[in-house]
Structure 1
Amino acid sequence: MTEITSTWQEFLKQQAANFSAELSDNFVTPLNDLGIIAVCGDDAASFLHNQLTNDVEHLTSNQVRRAGYCTPKGRLLASFLMWKNQQGFFLQLPKEIQAAVQKRMQMFIMRSKVKMADVSDSQIVLALGGNAVGAALAKWFPNLPDAPYANIENEHGCLMRLDDAQGIARYQWHTTTEMAITAWPGLVEKLTPVDSRVWRLGEIEAGIPQITLATQEQFVPQMINFEVIGGVNFKKGCYPGQEIVARSQYLGKLKRRAVIAKIVSAEVAAGMAVFSSADPAQPCGMIINAESSTSDTFICILEIKLAALENGSVHLGSADGAPLTVLPLPYAMPDAN
């Protein structure tokens, strides 16, 4: 742990008693479970463009994009949040898989003028949500990003707006430890400090999947709606797994997709299998991400055979497990009937 990380963690320990475990319409929370990879150098844009599922070469500094990193078989090893500034490009992903993903990507740099570095310890990520965010941030950001995936950068850091969840506008502020500690008292005057599960729950409610250690190499991007949320560009050039991803898109109707569901009175975690009562012998899907919304209820996003949603009921762990209640997605599916 670096001195910067230690200082921030110590500060949060001092604030711990003030954190609420309840959901809030106006909130702030530190996202300490995320890692950030910096990719710099003359060839950084072309290198990433040839590795990721989305367009990197035309990414501007006022945009944020999602992108995937696939195996040659088209299976996702990671899902990123991606942005750039004058220093280079940045890829945000769960810290638990960052080192392995970064090591794999570095293998393909070869003679390219590219340098990759773990900058997680030098960037504090604060997640904020609600209609009070503008007032809370006014001292540092007089104007907020006006739409999802817009980005504003100034001397105080980088402020990006991400997907709304349940009608609540949500943001991430990437800044320094010093700035985060200085700003915190003013933020919590207008926003409730909460556990980071509030942010992760919002991601699920927004229909945004996140690849974690439990789900690496399990899904082609379309199986988790990744092209629907803007994570795949079908007009760009080749990248690992591109042929399989394109084939899945254009040859036949997709048979597996991601849905949001509610599960009561059962512990739920990424990687758990789900089963259909109509075909109990084998799994029909897998939990991608899950978070508790109340003491006995989990909200999850899961990948599933579409046929399983049309025949019988769906259950966690086995055909006799806790039933899943499918909830509406917050976006339209292109292949919906």
Structure 2
Amino acid sequence: MSDTNRGLIELRGEDSLKFLQGQVSCDLHQLSDDNFIRGCHCTPKGRVIFLFSAGLKDSDCIVLETHPSIVDTAIASLKKYAVFSKTKITDISDQKLSIEPELSDLDRLRAGIADITSGTTDQFIPQMLNLDLLNFISFKKGCYTGQEVVARAHYLGAVKRRMYLLNLSTNCVPEIGQALFNIEGKQLGTIVNAQANKQGQIEALAVLATSSSDIKRIVIDQTEISVERLDLPYELG
């Protein structure tokens, strides 16, 4: 295990797996000592609170790796449901371990994998972040918090917003959660993550209305800029 700048949450106790299985989108029964699994924890309305990679630390201990800014929010949300479970939920971000192979923020962005932070929590259903295309969701595992909303969007095809990879013609990295508008002033979407590349260009993941995904110019922070849609390493369908 290697050092990481990610946040780490430990769930320890005999009920940890059973408890977490009822709270997250992935099927934790697929976990083993030599593999990890990605998932999300949602509100009852199906909005993503945080994303994570889960791994087994030992037989009664699961560790969730997530964005450091969301650790406190994640723990508080999980603890609301853990009152009657034999599990202890702890911030162990000071420990030197990682659940999955480390990616730079830019590589993660280019892989089309969102990071939910304190600036974007409780805003998107999983499909808006393409989590259904990235194996963050099991549609066979049964009930979990927010499952009805997530399943309805999946089976009815009611996803009108998706996450896209964009190249923005600006020198300023936009803030996470910043709104994007068209030149008429209508909001088109939201910045999920953004990074400057070695060429000084800004690459971003943004949730946009699918009807606006091919727009060429946007307004961000009252400045009009050109935008290019880049290919993701998976099909949006």
- Deviation track 1:197-225 (CA, whole Å, cap 9, x = no partner) reads x8000000111101011111110000010
Deviation at 1:318, TM superposition (A): 6.2
State whether structure 2 residue 228 is matched by structure 1 residue 322: no
Contact 2:4 2:96 in 1 (8 A): no
- Deviation track 1:114-150 (CA, whole Å, cap 9, x = no partner) reads 111111112255xxxxxxxxxxxxxxxxxxxxxxxxx
The residue aligned with 1:263 is 168
How many residue pairs are counted as aligned between the two chains? 234
Deviation at 1:298, TM superposition (A): 1.0
The residue aligned with 1:272 is 178
Aligned-residue Cα RMSD (Å) equals 2.0
CA distance in 2, matches of 1:264, 1:294: 14
> Which SS does the other structure have where 1:113 is aligned?
coil
Deviation at 1:284, TM superposition (A): 0.9
The percent identity for this pair of structures is 29
Greater helix proportion: 1
CA distance in 1, matches of 2:194, 2:67: 14
The residue aligned with 1:290 is 194
TM-score, with structure 1 as normaliser: 0.65
Alpha carbons of structure 1 residues 118 and 320: separation in structure 2 relative to 1, 3 Å: closer
The gaps in structure 2 that reach 5 residues or longer are none
Contact 2:182 2:219 in 1 (8 A): no
> Which SS does the other structure have where 1:236 is aligned?
coil
Deviation at 1:320, TM superposition (A): 5.2
State whether structure 2 residue 203 is matched by structure 1 residue 299: yes
Task: Report matched runs for 1:140-179 at 5 Å.
Answer: 160=100, 171-172=101-102
Contact 2:167 2:204 in 1 (8 A): yes
> Which SS does the other structure have where 2:25 is aligned?
coil
Contact 1:264 1:296 in 2 (8 A): no
Alpha carbons of structure 1 residues 323 and 109: separation in structure 2 relative to 1, 3 Å: same
> Which SS does the other structure have where 1:122 is aligned?
coil
State whether structure 2 residue 127 is matched by structure 1 residue 222: yes
State whether structure 2 residue 157 is matched by structure 1 residue 252: yes
Q: Name which one, 1 or 2, has greater alpha-carbon Rg.
A: 1
CA distance in 2, matches of 1:293, 1:119: 31
Q: Give the residue type in structure 2 aligned to 1:325.
A: E
Deviation at 1:260, TM superposition (A): 0.4
Alpha carbons of structure 1 residues 315 and 37: separation in structure 2 relative to 1, 3 Å: same
Alpha carbons of structure 1 residues 266 and 315: separation in structure 2 relative to 1, 3 Å: farther
CA distance in 2, matches of 1:303, 1:251: 20
- Deviation track 1:127-183 (CA, whole Å, cap 9, x = no partner) reads xxxxxxxxxxxxxxxxxxxxxxxxxxxxxxx7x4xxxxxxxxxx23xxxxxxxxxxx
Alpha carbons of structure 1 residues 30 and 62: separation in structure 2 relative to 1, 3 Å: closer
Deviation at 1:295, TM superposition (A): 5.8
The residue aligned with 1:242 is 147
Deviation at 1:253, TM superposition (A): 4.5
State whether structure 2 residue 53 is matched by structure 1 residue 53: no
Q: Give the residue type in structure 1 aligned to 2:228.
A: T
> Which SS does the other structure have where 2:10 is aligned?
strand
CA distance in 2, matches of 1:49, 1:257: 26
Q: Give the residue type in structure 1 aligned to 2:9.
A: I
Instruction: Detail structure 1 runs of 4+ shifted over 3 Å in the superposition.
Output: none
The residue aligned with 1:123 is 96
Of 79, 89, 96, 1:106 maps to: 79
Of 89, 92, 99, 2:62 maps to: 89
The gaps in structure 1 that reach 5 residues or longer are 1-28, 126-157, 161-170, 173-197
> Which SS does the other structure have where 2:133 is aligned?
coil
Q: Give the residue type in structure 2 aligned to 1:274.
A: L
CA distance in 1, matches of 2:151, 2:56: 26
TM-score, with structure 2 as normaliser: 0.91
> Which SS does the other structure have where 1:97 is aligned?
helix
Deviation at 1:227, TM superposition (A): 1.2
